[in-house]
Structure 1
């Protein structure tokens, strides 16, 4: 068997009836979180321009656009909703994947589920298959894939979106293998565009391409099912000789990656690589016991060289760049005691206190084994030195967040401005109960800010 055929066989074996209850719950939490941040991200100013570029006026098709009324083709909806889901960089993360597993998968599934009026259980099952493919593939190519400059949320996310779409279409192993091979030619996304709107566009494109791969196979498209291991295939071209191990992707399918190492839900609406420094800064502020105000003389930050590579922006010029500036984010956490959705508005993000402090913030890299370790050292003007560290692996466990109520609070923060408090609470409850729903239409229409059906 080719690699694609082996991968397809494993992905098609995932069934809701035999999956651990905890895996199904984790999938439900992840979908809820993704839909919440997508609705919050649907106001990103570049999305309407993207819709115009696509010729997507919302006056045809069977799929909804999150946060906007109208009907779109499933492909256009997947692209627009995937971009919205990553617009705030607030969507969930995977340590194994070094990226965001849910956004490309959910965006593709949302569009196809509406087109086909799929049941809640069918969508959850397809979601599980999609994210398991992404995270198992990551084991074959990481960390070199990431270090080389690829954006795994997109380059691996396209296979998650393709798998999930194929599962919802009821593909057999051969059809799914062909879909994955088609998707090989559609993988894209490089880290040079981090800090710009192109990064969330990567995710929309992954959702679009994954769904397109499945739809073309449904209409008779064929492919080279050896597209992964071919001399000019995915592994050799994207990684290079000696930097990948396909067998690792085919191992461990008796357990679920969504549970171990799991999917982490973000608490801060910015790049996950800066979260450890933010959390250390918040701890320092708490230890200081009062408003730091003008008391700070200097700040030093240490994060892993792999994390600092794309967060070392000493003076960000836009709100989006600020999401990828560990200097800005650490200073903001110390000064305000939190990082909020409203901190990245282009007109207001560079407040006078942050602007005055940034020249005295220095970021260093470390090479310690724990690549999620962040350390912060603050010297106050009175000579007091405060130091702390944190290890935040791109977010926190969704089960802990649900138990504490933080998962719902985040969802409400992201959605109440669009839906109102009562509708946002009802929508959250509906998503958590979606496994038994006969179809997704009420949830999809609600998240699109339309009347429930």
Structure 2
């Protein structure tokens, strides 16, 4: 058996909630909260509804969040994973989109674990999932190398995070967890081909990875074995096959249990690909710096690396998926709408002639000197001839530039209220902030995720429909800057 596989599996089995640094637990809760919010809103998206139609008539005990429907555990992992990523509002910087993969798999595993799972165990499993998914990506050479080769890491590497987290919830031992990770390798896949025509397949990747990871753990639980040399330098091995030119196998277990990968992840303030966020921030700051309104802007230039150009340089806005991957659209929306929230990507906004006007005045220029992991440089020229340039690194939402708790709650409510009343959203939020105190996820969190509940079934105080006070970590509403693994820029 591969020593690395053994060590990864042992880590999954042996890690305890008490081993997690308090700051990491706090960040894990924020990402869990954020993923539930993204999924609830995503449940109402076209792609999530279409995916649910595929399983019409299926029966099971696992809730599809934001609905009153239940289905089998594997199908629920898939469907909740699709919804989580459907609107490009889920977190990033892990496998890449770890929340949309790990949390749906974990919750599906909870539904079939056969025993009560408490909040501390849920947090631990989520942290493990983020850890393993990210480490596999780093072993592939990290984000730019692996995704630049055409693989979508949310799918290819996320399946391992889902398998590890599910194995933990299901109580697999070390040998079974090795098999779960090995089987997950056979379920890995996902290509960036969607980028050329704005197709919806990207939204399926997170769900497929969640489903695959859960199934890998379930198969291993039943005694089906997986390859124990999956990450070795052997013919048919994962790294040799998918990352032959870029693999860094030492990244699989370097500083395991010391450097925590969830701590490097970002929460999105904007409903667009993370690659656009730094430029959105820079444009807003430049407008403030130059003290100009949109009608006083002559044009906008963006100097960027070739990888970001290939990923986000498109100008097709005919579909939501295409627009959310477009850097020119994001900047045009910031100029026209004043923000890049989800509403800025509605059909009506995408067809606004003012958007087309500004997209024609936004120029992207590839600078070969820029690192493939680097953030772009945005330049604004005004009608009176002034000009200023700025690079924002890290962008808002990154660990070094985090959303405040107040902003996180505002985002959560803006998403959850699309499918449920404020009282229900408020109860869910309150439970998520204290999730480590909950003794049964099935009896506390799950009922609050169901839409269409009968009156009287929620334990909501009478004042819950009023605005709830927001939580702050500092007096000014900001949150502490994290101190882990910030050496690499986050996409």
**TM-score under structure 2 length normalisation:** 0.86
Q: Which of 106, 113, 121 is residue 110 of structure 2 equivalent to?
A: 113
1:127-146 equivalences under 5 Å are: 127-143=126-142, 144-146=145-147
Return 5+ residue gaps in structure 1 as ranges: none
Answer yes or no: is 1:231 the counterpart of 2:244.
no
Q: Distance in 1 between matches of 2:73 and 2:396?
A: 31
SS at match of 2:70: strand
Q: Distance in 1 between matches of 2:249 and 2:409?
A: 38
Superposed CA offset, 1:303-324 (max 9, x none) = 2222221101134222221111
Superposed CA offset, 1:174-210 (max 9, x none) = 0000000000000011112144321110000000000
| Aligned structure 1 segments of 4 or more residues deviating by more than 4 angstroms | none
Assess if the C-alpha contact under 8 Å between 2:181 and 2:226 holds in 1: no
Aligned to 1:68: 67
Q: From the superposition, tell whether residues 268 and 392 of structure 1 become closer, same or farther in structure 2 (CA, over 3 Å).
A: farther
Assess if the C-alpha contact under 8 Å between 2:269 and 2:396 holds in 1: no
Q: Which of 217, 222, 225 is residue 219 of structure 1 equivalent to?
A: 222
Assess if the C-alpha contact under 8 Å between 1:92 and 1:395 holds in 2: no
1:402-441 equivalences under 5 Å are: 402-403=404-405, 405-441=406-442
Superposed CA offset, 1:31-88 (max 9, x none) = 11000011111111122222222x3436x21100011112110111100000010011
SS at match of 2:350: coil
Superposed CA offset, 1:156-191 (max 9, x none) = 110000000000011111000000000000001111
How many Å apart are 1:133 and its aligned residue? 0.7
Superposed CA offset, 1:112-133 (max 9, x none) = 2133342222211111111111
Aligned to 1:202: 205
How many Å apart are 1:279 and its aligned residue? 0.7
Q: Distance in 1 between matches of 2:246 and 2:373?
A: 19
Assess if the C-alpha contact under 8 Å between 2:396 and 2:403 holds in 1: no
Q: From the superposition, tell whether residues 56 and 115 of structure 1 become closer, same or farther in structure 2 (CA, over 3 Å).
A: farther
Aligned to 1:10: 11
The root-mean-square deviation of aligned C-alpha atoms, in Å, is 2.0
Q: Distance in 1 between matches of 2:241 and 2:221?
A: 27
Assess if the C-alpha contact under 8 Å between 2:44 and 2:419 holds in 1: no
Q: Distance in 2 between matches of 1:372 and 1:276?
A: 10
1:144-155 equivalences under 5 Å are: 144-155=145-156
Superposed CA offset, 1:81-122 (max 9, x none) = 00010011111111x64x112210001111221333422222
**TM-score under structure 1 length normalisation:** 0.93
Q: From the superposition, tell whether residues 381 and 151 of structure 1 become closer, same or farther in structure 2 (CA, over 3 Å).
A: same
Return 5+ residue gaps in structure 2 as ranges: 459-491
Assess if the C-alpha contact under 8 Å between 1:273 and 1:394 holds in 2: no
Q: Distance in 1 between matches of 2:452 and 2:107?
A: 15
